[in-house]
């Protein structure tokens, strides 16, 4: 869901939003992958991670007969996307929900195209008060649904050392998870954590200098882990992938953009499971109803080109996978 923003912004609801020149990640490739399922027909497209609506706007412009159902858990994103997509009138339906709510959002309809652009959106990254970016001192919030549920500060200040270690290790793939967790518990006894700046200082002290020189910013993995924990992102994705595939019509296509290895592995497994025959290996013929349900459209995970990364640095970690449904589930 990450994208670049360029030029002057407009202020809406207290946020500076550079909506008009927002650059969605891998836009041309996404459009190309979805086109065979959407072109020249009355098709239904679901953008499971609407954000600022950049991908959705491009799809609606490219395919005048397509109808959109756009999902986002963030009410601010829904409001901004509604204004952006207003010119498309009743071709657009927006629903405030997490992406595992896709089946309910489409009300039993079969879907021709699905996009999941995972991770945190530009709207959230660029709003300092949301606390997603470790480059600025801000409240430790990190909630994608603004104002709902526990914050990153709540996690840091209430989780046991063992639970913090688990979160940092499993969701951030942080080598120094136990050391960082111990430091957090020690420091919060002096004063609770409230802002990102203090956490970043702790991480600089906890992560060895040699690792900092080669492993990127020392806060990257911890902030990722906290964000995933606060928003239950992997659990939502675990539920969303089968839900999305269950409503995908034969001939329909799903495109998923992931920004970290945990997400990408989940997508890879979900696609591979349905792209593989379930006929026992020792049988000489394919059994009816056991042929693959999906065809993989991409070879492995595609990455952004050097030019795209130069134009949009937030595209650097993207891993894109796409599949097409070739038969209904039995």
Quick one: residue 5, left, alpha or beta (phi over 0 = left, psi -120 to 50 = alpha)? beta
State residue 146's pLDDT score.
Answer: 67
Q: Give which of 302, 248, 257 is closest to 275, Cα–Cα.
A: 248
Instruction: Copy the structure tokens of residue 86.
Output: 């207003």
**Range name among 73-77, 119-123, 215-219, 285-289 with the lowest pLDDT average:** 119-123
pLDDT, mean of residues 98-115? 95
Q: Is the pLDDT of residue 223 over 80?
A: yes
What do you get for the CA distance between the two ends of the chain, in Å? 33
Could you give the CA distance from residue 65 to residue 99 in angstroms, rounded to a whole number? Answer: 24
pLDDT digits (tens, 9 = 90+) for 20-61: 345 799 999 999 999 999 999 999 999 999 999 999 999 999
Beta-carbon neighbour count of residue 147 at 10 Å?
Answer: 8
- The pTM (predicted TM-score) of the whole model is 0.86
| C-alpha distances in Å from residue 183, one per residue of 12, 141, 199, 204 | 39, 20, 10, 11
Query: Residues near 206 by Cβ (< 8 Å), separated by ≥ 6?
Result: 176, 179, 180, 183, 218
Query: Residues near 27 by Cβ (< 8 Å), separated by ≥ 6?
Result: 54, 55, 58
SS3 of residue 3 by DSSP: strand
């Amino acid at each position: 869901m990450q994208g670049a923003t360029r030029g002057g912004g407009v202020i809406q609801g207290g946020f500076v939003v550079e909506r008009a020149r927002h650059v969605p990640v891998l836009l041309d490739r996404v459009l190309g992958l979805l086109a065979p399922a959407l072109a020249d027909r009355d098709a239904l497209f679901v953008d499971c991670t609407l954000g600022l609506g950049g991908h959705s706007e491009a799809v609606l412009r490219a395919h005048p007969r397509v109808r959109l159902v756009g999902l986002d858990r963030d009410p601010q994103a829904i409001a901004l996307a509604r204004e952006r997509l207003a010119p498309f009138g009743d071709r657009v339906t927006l629903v405030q929900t997490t992406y595992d709510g896709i089946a309910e959002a489409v009300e039993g309809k079969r879907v021709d195209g699905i996009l999941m652009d995972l991770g945190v959106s530009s709207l959230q990254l660029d709003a300092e008060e949301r606390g997603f970016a470790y480059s600025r001192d801000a409240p430790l919030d990190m909630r994608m649904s603004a104002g709902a549920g526990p914050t990153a500060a709540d996690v840091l200040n209430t989780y046991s050392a063992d639970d913090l270690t688990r979160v940092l290790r499993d969701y951030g793939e942080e080598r120094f998870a136990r050391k960082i967790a111990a430091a957090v518990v020690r420091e919060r006894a002096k004063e609770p954590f409230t802002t990102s700046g203090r956490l970043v200082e702790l991480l600089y002290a906890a992560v060895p200098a040699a690792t900092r020189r080669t492993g990127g910013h020392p806060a990257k993995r911890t902030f990722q882990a906290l964000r995933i924990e606060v928003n239950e992102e992997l659990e939502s994705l675990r539920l969303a992938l089968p839900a999305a595939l269950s409503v995908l019509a034969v001939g329909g296509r799903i495109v998923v953009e992931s920004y970290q290895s945990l997400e990408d592995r989940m997508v890879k497994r979900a696609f591979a499971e349905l792209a593989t025959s379930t006929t026992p290996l020792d049988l000489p013929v394919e059994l009816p109803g056991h042929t693959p349900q999906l065809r993989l459209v991409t070879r492995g995970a595609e990455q952004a080109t050097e030019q795209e990364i130069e134009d949009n640095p937030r595209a650097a970690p993207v891993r894109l996978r796409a599949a097409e449904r070739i038969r209904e589930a039995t």
